[in-house]
Each structure stands twice: as structure tokens, then as C-alpha cells.
């Protein structure tokens, strides 16, 4: 992966399917608060899903792509894992990104070499 085109193709292969098929991507984690002079506090769990397909985009040159995607993510009770409807008596607004599209042109994608594996 010595050129921006090679780096972008490698990124595209890790995030999507080069043949245009739909790919589902799932993530989970936690949301913390932070304030000066106070410890971190775990407020919510956070879990989401993205469905995307990758297309070659001739508008961005022969090595350009367009990632067409939609995603939803939910704030979860940190103890029970249930989807929150309210928090501190306020309604919770979950994430509904439709679309969550991206245009990719060749650029030097940052990588890290970990004993022969590239991340």
C-alpha cells in the first residue's frame, strides 16, 4: 500500500464489498461524561448498525468510490442494557442517519503496522 489509490482500495475492502453487495456493520460501546476535577462517569451503553454498499464513482476519477449507507444507533441503560426512552426525565433521541453516505477519493489512509498486520 504505497500509493493513495492502493490505500483507499484497502480501506474500501475492510469497510465494504468491492462488488457492490450490501454489508452490515455493527458496533457497541459506552458513552461517558467528563468534567474538570471530576471522574469519568459511564452514562449509557451505545449500540448501532450500518448497512452500506460501495459503488465506483466516476465523478471522483477511476479510483473513486461512493459509500451509500443508512444507520441507526441506540442509547442503552448502563445497567440493564435496555433501550432508553428517557434520561433524567428528558426524552432520548436515538441516531437515525438516513442517508449516511460518503464520497471517497484516493488519499493517504493512515495505517499502523502491528507485527505484520496492517490496521
* pLDDT given at position 66: 95
Name the residue with higher pLDDT: 7 or 61.
7
48-88 per-position pLDDT tens digit? 999 999 999 888 778 899 999 999 999 999 999 999 999 99
Question: How many other CB atoms sit within 10 Å of the CB of residue 21?
Answer: 9
**pTM for the predicted model, two decimal places:** 0.78
- 86-105 pLDDT, tens digit each: 999 999 999 999 999 999 99
Instruction: Tell me whether the omega of the peptide bond preceding residue 4 falls within 30 degrees of 0, making it cis.
Output: no
Amino acid at each position: 500500500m504505497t500509493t493513495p489509490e492502493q490505500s483507499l482500495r484497502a480501506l474500501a475492502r475492510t469497510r465494504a464489498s468491492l462488488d457492490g453487495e450490501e454489508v452490515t456493520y455493527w458496533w457497541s460501546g459506552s458513552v461517558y461524561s467528563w468534567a474538570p476535577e471530576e471522574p469519568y462517569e459511564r452514562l449509557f451503553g451505545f449500540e448501532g448498525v450500518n448497512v452500506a454498499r460501495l459503488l465506483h464513482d466516476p465523478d471522483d476519477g477511476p479510483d473513486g468510490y461512493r459509500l451509500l449507507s443508512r444507520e441507526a444507533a441506540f442509547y442503552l441503560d448502563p445497567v440493564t442494557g435496555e433501550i432508553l426512552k428517557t434520561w433524567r426525565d428528558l426524552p432520548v433521541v436515538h441516531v437515525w442517519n438516513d442517508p449516511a453516505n460518503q464520497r471517497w477519493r484516493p488519499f493517504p489512509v493512515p495505517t499502523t503496522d502491528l507485527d505484520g498486520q496492517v490496521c
